[in-house]
Amino acid sequence: MVKRKGTFLASLILVIALLIPSATLTANPGNSIDLEILESSIEYRELHGLNSSTKYVSELLLSDNTYERIVGIPLTKDEFLLLEERDQLLDSISDYRESLKAERIPNGDLFYDIKTGEVTLNLVEATDNTIKRVKEKFPKPEKLKIKRVTFTSEALSEALEKLRNSYSDLDGLKTIHIDTQKNRIIIGLKDSSPDIRKKVTSLVDSEMLEFTEASDVSPLAISDLSNNHRPLVAGTKIFSDYSGGCSTGFYANTLSGNIVLVTAGHCTTVGSNGITTKDAWYQPTKSSSNKIGNSLYRNSGNSFADSLTVSLDSSTIKSTDVFEATSSTTVTYPVRYVESPTAEVVGMETCKTGFTTGTTCGQYQGKTDVLSYGSGYTTMYDLRLASWTANHGDSGGTVFKKKFNSQYGRVDVTLQGLVGGEVTIGGTNYRFYSHVSNIAGITTPVTL
């Protein structure tokens, strides 16, 4: 997580209110524990490789000696510091990649083990001398593992670009992405057509490829509407004359100096590139008193982001909170950073918030291209794959990563992007999101 410079300088305030345990429930009357809180706490702790037994987590929830008041989940002080240490290691990855490049060390990039905090480097020329050099350059050598691979990340990227230039001739190709852990390009096909395989292998080295089946993309819009939220906060249900229901993502500045709301592009119709139907948006139901603004900008055709900007009516009361409803009170974390693509590491934490399933966390699992995306788009490039759960209605919700900060006794948030949809590749169901750096029509996201 690196603070974004240039076009992504911080300008205002955005706060995440997470659908996780309340900060006020460290001790409960009668020693009772909210099952929703217990389940979400176990899930988050299990994701990060912490003790997640029901007995242990229950004891933490009933104890006053935890960081639950800050984090929203029960953590001991040592656990909080451990997660902060892991965050700091991830913060160094961008510079480490640059050092490998400067030293001309052939590698297939890195991936992160979220349960152990270890980083694995794919080395192409894994001699003893090279291993010694790369470990010496790593901030915590004891946390760096080495895996011998065949292809450099540059070679895989060049092969991917060759395939991209031939997408129009590859009918039946659904998805394509580089799998860092496998050191291969994964080709997702609608069926097992030998003709497609033959065409693909004629373009790039077949040893770089792994073929599998892939489904059509399923956007996550929905027709369920309820609950009025004022001021207007991110993660809230919104809908238009076209859309049954989506989630608000985040606020951003434009070149004209206005602040717009950003959500998913497939939540509205589109004419020619960048021109929407200007349909009105409402929250929570269609009425003149509930109107919040109009669609402003949405691209179409080939794109790097499924996104839409909404110009807000002057009467719309904006809030810098991302809304999450629980049976308890919410926890709010300020978004202080915007993620640079150079800071992404396969395996790192990513979370999302949407009105249907609230806040769920998982792992970033790489980028993918999706052909025949639909909803006014053709090919969508560089969508990010994630393992968090999401469902219809979460489209357009905020994607983010938590950053533990013991100096100020708080958890900050790094903005990552917008919830898009789901796709199945090789039997694995992924959720995907558009990265904030690829959102069209904005300059700086609103952050603290």
Which residues are paired to 260 by β-bridges? 252, 311
Write down the pLDDT at residue 27: 37
Inside any domain, residue 264: no
Write down the pLDDT at residue 14: 33
Contact by Cβ (8 Å): 421, 220: yes
3-state secondary structure 402-432: EEEECCCCEEEEEEEEEEEEEEEECCEEEEE
Nearest to 326 by CA among 19, 7, 77: 19
- Which amino acid is it at 427? G
Inside any domain, residue 181: yes
**Could you please report the per-residue DSSP string of 334-388?**
EEEEE--GGG--BT-EEEEEETTTEEEEEEEEEEEEESS-BTTEEEEEEEEEE-S
* 402 burial via Cβ count (<10 Å: 0-12, 13-18, 19+): buried
**pLDDT truncated to tens, each residue of the chain (448 aa)?**
333 333 322 222 233 333 222 333 333 444 577 787 888 889 999 999 999 999 999 998 888 777 766 666 789 989 999 999 999 999 999 999 999 999 999 999 999 999 999 999 999 988 999 999 999 999 999 999 999 999 999 999 999 999 999 988 888 888 999 999 999 999 998 776 788 889 999 999 999 999 998 887 776 654 443 455 555 666 778 888 776 688 888 888 888 888 888 999 888 876 545 555 578 888 877 777 788 888 888 888 899 999 999 888 766 655 544 444 344 445 666 678 899 999 999 999 999 888 888 888 999 999 999 988 888 888 999 999 999 988 888 899 999 998 888 887 777 888 999 999 898 998 899 999 999 999 988 888 767 6
Nearest to 268 by CA among 242, 249, 245, 292: 242
Inside any domain, residue 395: no
Q: Which two tokens stand for residue 425?
A: 């590749």
Spatial separation of the C-alpha atoms in residues 398 and 239, rounded to whole Å: 16
CATH number of the domain that residue 164 is part of: 3.30.300.50
User: Strand order in 250-253's β-sheet?
Assistant: 246-247, 237-240, 280-282, 291-297, 308-312, 259-263, 250-253
Q: How many CB atoms lie within 10 A of CB 202?
A: 9
Contact by Cβ (8 Å): 276, 297: yes
Q: Could you report how far apart the first and last alpha carbons of the chain are, in Å?
A: 15
Inside any domain, residue 169: yes
Inside any domain, residue 137: no
Inside any domain, residue 170: yes
Inside any domain, residue 191: yes
Inside any domain, residue 199: yes
Write down the pLDDT at residue 232: 64
State how far the alpha carbon of 194 is from the alpha carbons of 124, 191, 347, 424, in Å: 31, 9, 33, 20
Contact by Cβ (8 Å): 71, 329: no
The model scores a pTM over 0.85: no
- Which amino acid is it at 411? V
Cβ-Cβ contacts under 8 Å for 19 (sequence gap 6 or more)? 40, 324, 325, 326, 330, 353, 358, 359, 360
Write down the pLDDT at residue 7: 31
Domain hosting residue 190, numbered range: 153-214
Long-range contacts of 142-148 (CB under 8 A, 24+ apart): 143/89, 143/117, 143/118, 143/119, 144/118, 144/119, 144/120, 145/118, 145/119, 145/120, 145/121, 146/120, 146/121, 147/120, 147/121, 147/122, 147/123, 148/122, 148/123, 148/124
Torsion angle (degrees, nearest 10) of CA 22, 24, 27, 29 = -100
Q: Which two tokens stand for residue 337?
A: 């950073």
Q: How many domains does the chain have?
A: 1
